[in-house]
A and B are shown apart, each in its own frame.
Chain A
Amino acid sequence: EAGVAQSPRYKIIEKRQSVAFWCNPISGHATLYWYQQILGQGPKLLIQFQNNGVVDDSQLPKDRFSAERLKGVDSTLKIQPAKLEDSAVYLCASSLPTGSEAFFGQGTRLTVV
């Protein structure tokens, strides 16, 4: 069974530039999550989708971050403009609608210089 796919694996950008991350969840997983993991901290939930609808985006900095899930499958997370403090690993996870276990991708490591 294929896992959660994320790309790119690494990205280095200058502050004030924009960047986008892509996630393909496990087939059949209706729930998709984006987490931000800053060095030395645990992952923090940014946004949760159920199919193509947003369930929770209370922790998403909406002035610069946006996310969408087209057709309830793939998802993209965008940052525009990036700040130094956005340097982190961005993890995508997916699960069945009943929850129980979230499966994580390998993440995208973003460095903002």
Chain B
Amino acid sequence: AQSVTQPDIHITVSEGASLELRCNYSYGATPYLFWYVQSPGQGLQLLLKYFSGDTLVQGIKGFEAEFKRSQSSFNLRKPSVHWSDAAEYFCAVALNDYKLSFGAGTTVTVRA
């Protein structure tokens, strides 16, 4: 069955520390891969996406993600988090039809 898994429900990180959010997928073929961020009361904003090519993808707000085919993973990273990065992060996948299937999300709390 096709699925998207975000193993970490909640992560707490200190401001200035690095952040890594995990995402694994199970699909018959390599799907298109996305990371979205959702701040409280807001809609989803696209951070970055991977369709093909370079497996290290740069996004907005200083985020990057690495696609690893052998591990069926697309982990999101940021070298130094800011208090404004506190939000919920969703990994999503899509096939050629671009219909998004989302993981359950990871809530990030940033402590001072």
Query: What is the interface of chain A, defined by CB distance below 8 A to chain B?
Result: 3-4, 31, 33, 40-45, 48, 55-56, 91, 93, 95, 99-107
Contacts and interface: CB of A to CB of B under 8 A. Distances in A.
Given A48-B99, A56-B99, A42 B90 contact: yes
A43 B90 contact: yes
A102 B98 contact: yes
Query: At the interface, is chain A mostly helix, strand, loop or mixed?
Result: strand
A104 B45 contact: yes
Question: Max chain B CB contacts within 10 Å: which of A101, A102, A103?
Answer: A102
B102 A43 contact: yes
B56 interface: no
A104 B44 contact: yes
Nearest to A9: B41
Interface in B9-56: 36, 41-46, 49
Given A4-B43, A105-B43, A42 B98 contact: no
B103 A42 contact: yes
Given A41-B105, A42-B104, A42-B105, A107 B43 contact: yes
Contacts of A44: 102
Given A56-B97, A93-B44, A104-B36, 12 more contacts: A41-B104, A41-B105, A42-B104, A42-B105, A45-B99, A48-B99, A91-B44, A99-B94, A99-B97, A101-B49, A102-B46, A104-B45
